[in-house]
Amino acid sequence: MEARTLRRWPSVRRVNPPAHKMRVFSICSAVPIFYLCITVLLSFLPISVCCAEGNFWTQSQYTKTLNLGGAAAHFEIDITATPSVKAGQESINYDLYLSKAENDLLSSLRAYLHAGGGETSNHELEILYLGPVDDDTIHYEVNVPVRYVVDEKNVKFVIHGATVHQSEPFPRSIQQSERQLLLWKGDVMPRTAYVTKEASVIVHTSDSIMNVTAPVKTTKSQNKITFGPYQDLAVYNGKSAAIPQGSVHYLYSKPVITYVDYDRQVQISHWGDNLATEDHIWVRNDGPKLKGHFNRAQNMLNLYSSPLSERMSQILSLPIMLPADSKDVYFVDAVGNVSTSRLAATPSVAGSLRRLELTPRFPILGGWNYTFTVGWNQPMSTNGRARVNPLKPWRIRVAVPFLLSPKAVAVDEATLRIVLPEGARDIDITLPFSVDSLTEEIFPTYLDTIGRPTFVLKRTKCTFRESKMVYIEYTLPWLAHMRKVFAVSIAALTIYFVSALLRKQSKL
């Protein structure tokens, strides 16, 4: 491979500890032991005290809304605050706190500014991971450019986040056709670094709420729980009292689906103008486990007599949305072709998706697993998937979706392999989010001479929010296009001359 570059656009990036704290330790190595002890004691001060210096906000409203589902949940924090901007400042930082339990399950975190009009109304902000405040709190920092808020008295921005496996089945095992209940536990009071005039925590569920437990004021309205509101909420720091914890026990009428392993391989072929995609998916039902044995006859009977309770905790089908121009679609499992599935016809409306209803050979109950493979071909030259730069005729840019996942599904580990044509060089990858690892390897196929450059992207804890395009740009000169032709021609000529030589030798 020749020179290549990699651009990453992570929504959250990690930074080293504050520089002033690092300097303190370097100086103390040369001072008496007394000052060293003082420095050690100071190091136990909450990190928020150090980081909040110069980042003062007057916060008037803080509302955190959680939308609970099955394996994936989503939350939104609406904040209204007034910054204190100093002269010459280019940006002002907002300190964001999450509980450690929530942070451990965090899939994505993004911040958007809603200030003024025009381009600033949905301006995405950078979020920095700073580390723990204490044993139960994680510190993030939202970077807000001053040019967007200098004339604003009340700045409004929103934090979008997604978590996986935040709710767990309770009870953990049920009888066949018994209803499925999930339990959520978490903060029922905002965890904020600023004095807040009014704050609340709201929990939404898609089905009925059975029970709510919390040591604070609680209001229930159908499928909505409001904890608070709280007036003049105090600052949380390392010395504050523990945040009150609560729980919501609710009914969930859909199976709790988890993609334990999502392995996607995309092969790019310019000879056939083809983008070949193949997904290997390991599915697990993370709902309550089956108590006792599965009764097939009872299952068939319940599907007619009480279908809602029977379908509630069982995966009977998996909806997979394919590109509209997908063709040569196949879907197989360990046994063979899954003939019980249904594939919709090619949609007539441009930009629509093509639905594949994959029906497993047996219902997948709580704790059960199922693996299958889905593959399809699609042309590269349509819908802007592959574009050629007119100024650089041999420069090609291809868009590849990272994954395809339903909204309520959690993906524990996702892998994307992009197999480029043989001879591709000067490769540039643009990512829509951060990844855990990005490696390069060689993927040899038939008629290859040096193998195809392949890039492997891996990311854990994904949701449907990661169903975005990965852009890969590379140079493929005309000699690379003719490599296979030359290889086949040389091989054919070699065989011809060797056979002719052997025939001549046999006559002698």
Domains 57-251 and 257-476 share a fold: yes
Low-confidence ranges of the chain (pLDDT < 50): 1-54, 117-120
* DSSP secondary structure letters along 471-503: EEEEE--HHHHTHHHHHHHHHHHHHHHHHHHHH
* CATH 3.40.50 matches 57-251: no
Instruction: Give the pLDDT confidence score for residue 74 in this predicted structure.
Output: 95
Q: How far apart are CA 214 and CA 49, in angstroms?
A: 29
* Location of structure tokens 């490599």: 483
Exposure b/e, 211-241, CB count within 10 A at least 16 = b = ebebeeebeeeeeebbbbbbeebeebbbeee
CATH class of 257-476: mainly beta
Task: Describe the chain by its helix, strand, coil percentages, rounded to 5.
Answer: 15, 50, 35
Contact assessment for residue 188 and residue 231, using Cβ atoms and an 8 Å cutoff: no
Tokens of 369: 């697993």
From 249, 256, 250, select the one nearest 287 (Cα to Cα): 256
Q: How far apart are CA 266 and CA 275, in angstroms?
A: 7
Instruction: Give the pLDDT confidence score for residue 406 in this predicted structure.
Output: 87
Q: Cis before residue 171, ω within 30 degrees of 0?
A: yes
Tokens of 486: 């030359």
Q: What is the side-by-side strand order in the sheet with 5-8? A: 5-8, 425-431, 469-475, 392-401, 386-389
Instruction: Give the pLDDT confidence score for residue 76 in this predicted structure.
Output: 96
User: How far does Cα 210 stand from its chain's mean position?
Assistant: 30
Instruction: Give the pLDDT confidence score for residue 480 in this predicted structure.
Output: 67
Task: Tell me the pTM.
Answer: 0.83
Calculate ∠ Cα 298-299-302, nearest 5°.
Answer: 80
Instruction: Give the pLDDT confidence score for residue 234 in this predicted structure.
Output: 92
**Domain boundary assignment for the chain:** 57-251, 257-476
Q: How far apart are CA 411 and CA 259, in angstroms?
A: 5
From 475, 326, 329, select the one nearest 395 (Cα to Cα): 475
Query: Helix crossing, 19-28 with 33-42: angle to 10°?
Result: 160
Query: Looking at residue 293, what DSSP letter applies?
Result: -
Instruction: Give the pLDDT confidence score for residue 151 in this predicted structure.
Output: 64
